[in-house]
Amino acid sequence: MSDFTNLIYEFPAVSTKMENIVILTKAYIAYFKERASLENEYGKGIHTQSTVPMKTSLFNKENPVDKTESTLKAMLETINSESEKIGQKHLETASKILNEIVKPLEALVKDIEVGKKKLINDTNKSINSHNALVTAAEKAKVNYKKAVTEHKNAVEAGKTLEGPAQEKNNIKIGQLDAKVKKLEADYRAAVDKANTTREVLYQTELPEVLKGCQELISKHYETFKAVLDQFVVTHIELSTIIADVSQRLRGNMEHVSYEADLEEFIKANLNVHEIKNIELELEEATAPTEEKKEETPIEEEKKEETPIEEEKKEVPTEEEKKEETPVEEQKTE
pLDDT tens figures, 60-81:
678 888 889 999 999 999 999 9
- 275 vs 193: which has the higher pLDDT: 193
- How high is the pLDDT of residue 311? 47
| pLDDT > 80? residue 305 | no
Specify whether domain 15-260 bears CATH 1.20.1270.60.
yes
Distances (CA, A) of 4 to 8, 10, 190, 290: 7, 9, 30, 123
- 292 vs 83: which has the higher pLDDT: 83
| pLDDT > 60? residue 312 | no
Confidence of residue 319 (pLDDT cuts 50, 70, 90): low
- 316 vs 269: which has the higher pLDDT: 269
The domain ranges of the chain are 15-260
- CA pair distance 284, 290, nearest whole angstrom: 16
- CA pair distance 146, 138, nearest whole angstrom: 12
- Per-residue pLDDT tens digits for 78-118: 999 999 999 999 999 999 999 999 999 999 999 999 999 88
| pLDDT > 80? residue 10 | yes
- How high is the pLDDT of residue 155? 85
- 55 vs 76: which has the higher pLDDT: 76
What average pLDDT is seen over the chain?
Answer: 86
- How high is the pLDDT of residue 273? 84
- How high is the pLDDT of residue 27? 98
In this prediction, what percent of the chain has a pLDDT beyond 90? 62
Nearest to 135 by CA among 73, 178, 207, 191: 191
Average pLDDT of the segment spanning 191-220: 94
| pLDDT > 70? residue 190 | yes
- CA pair distance 306, 297, nearest whole angstrom: 15
Task: Return the SS3 of 317.
Answer: coil
Q: Backbone phi, then psi, for 254, in 5-degree steps?
A: -70, -20
Average pLDDT of the segment spanning 167-187: 90
Amino acid at 19: E
- How high is the pLDDT of residue 1? 63
- How high is the pLDDT of residue 330? 45
Write the CB contacts of 319 (distance below 8 Å, at least 6 apart in sequence). none
| pLDDT > 80? residue 218 | yes
How many other CB atoms sit within 10 Å of the CB of residue 191? Answer: 17
The burial class, CB within 10 Å (0-12 / 13-18 / 19+), for 169 is: middle
- How high is the pLDDT of residue 301? 53
- How high is the pLDDT of residue 184? 95
